[in-house]
Amino acid sequence: MIQTSTEAERLRGALCLTAGALLWGTVGVASKAAFALEPVTALSLAFYRLFFCLPLLLAWGWWRFGPRLLAVRREHRGAVLLLAGTIGLYQVFYFAAVREVGVTLATLVALGGAPFLVALLAALFLGERPNRATLAALLLAVPGAGLLIGLPGGATGPGSALLGTLYAAASALGYAAFALQSRRLARSYAPVQLVLLAFGGAAVLILPLALATGLSVPGRWETWSLLVYAGLLPTAAAYMLFFAGLRHATATLAGLLTVLEPLSAAVLAWLIFDERLGPGGLAGGGLILAALLLVSAARRREASRGPSA
């Protein structure tokens, strides 16, 4: 059956979000390789990731839009500032959680909490009511992400488990707020404009924190190449796809598809570093795939019933 244009746009939106989430997963491989080459602080990595995504996009965006590239409507200025602030705070709180409780627990709380928070806030502020298939997929995907990441026995960092968990929860809330603001602005600006506005502002926010804690300056070209990669593909390209996908997909779906990031990272770690998943990790990957198949089947059923009102 031939899809309606609306359904085709929704499919393209979901595919863009999926591709973006898969690209996000590659930043873990790049950061692990960079850490193995020489000491680079996590906050410095966050700054370089934001910084290196900007020049190429700025050149391309200026060629396409000219002086209108960074023009923001008066009624959207507050929303754009909030967009930059939330993506910056999302990263800052995440790395603060890593410092307190280690990578595993920080990632589990931040990544596991984000899809539910996005769904809740989207229902409250955007009027998005997730259907039963989406809710069921959330209930499968979030525990699946927990199994894939690994359930920690306790804090592994030097600080407070409670404080670190609160930081990770704040990171999840920051991402949820970022997803909502992105959804609100996605139809008014081109993806390149939103990426530049969001990450340019976030880089300005993070730079003083990175300088205060000691901004790492790598001495090897291999490390710089990995940092440039982290800025170009898992950041610039991935978030371009993210914003493009949000033009025709819901914020709730965007939150759900974030669970593809650890799945992508796990597959790449297996292929490149020979890191093998245990039974729990395999079960988690299976739950994530089941959740995505459930959402895909629901979309096909909606398409077969014809365009919605």
> Residue 5: what pLDDT?
44
Enumerate residues 6+ apart whose C-beta is below 8 A from 120: 176
> Residue 267: what pLDDT?
72
DSSP class per residue in the chain: -PPPHHHHHHHHHHHHHHHHHHHHTHHHHHHHHHHHHS---HHHHHHHHHHHTHHHHHHHHHHHHGGGTT---GGGHHHHHHHHHHHHHHHHHHHHHHHHH-HHHHHHHHHHHHHHHHHHHIIIII-----HHHHHHHHHHHHHHHHHH---SS--SSS-HHHHHHHHHHHHHHHHHHHHHHHHHTTTS-HHHHHHHHHHHHHHHHHHHHHHH------SHHHHHHHHHHHIIIIIIHHHHHHHHHTTS-HHHHHHGGGHHHHHHHHHHHHHH-----HHHHHHHHHHHHHHHHHHHHHHHHHHT----
Q: Is 214 left (phi over 0), alpha (psi -120 to 50) or beta?
A: left
Contact 124, 98 (CB under 8 A): no
> Residue 226: what pLDDT?
92
Helix axes 161-185, 238-246, angle to 10 degrees: 60
Q: Would you place residue 47 in the very low, low, confident or very high pLDDT band (cuts 50, 70, 90)? A: confident
> Residue 210: what pLDDT?
82
Residue 176: name the closest of 291, 108, 95, 83 by CA: 83
Q: What is the pLDDT of residues 231-290, one digit of tens each?
A: 899 888 988 898 888 887 777 777 777 777 666 666 776 677 666 666 766 676 677 667
- Delimit the domains of the chain by residue range: 5-302
> Residue 223: what pLDDT?
92
Q: What is the pLDDT of residues 123-150, one digit of tens each?
A: 777 666 666 766 676 666 667 666 666 6
Alpha carbon distance 246, 89 (integer Å): 21
Q: Would you place residue 3 in the very low, low, confident or very high pLDDT band (cuts 50, 70, 90)? A: very low
Q: Say whether pLDDT at 1 is over 70.
A: no
Q: What is the pLDDT of residues 80-118, one digit of tens each?
A: 999 999 988 887 787 777 667 665 566 667 766 777 777
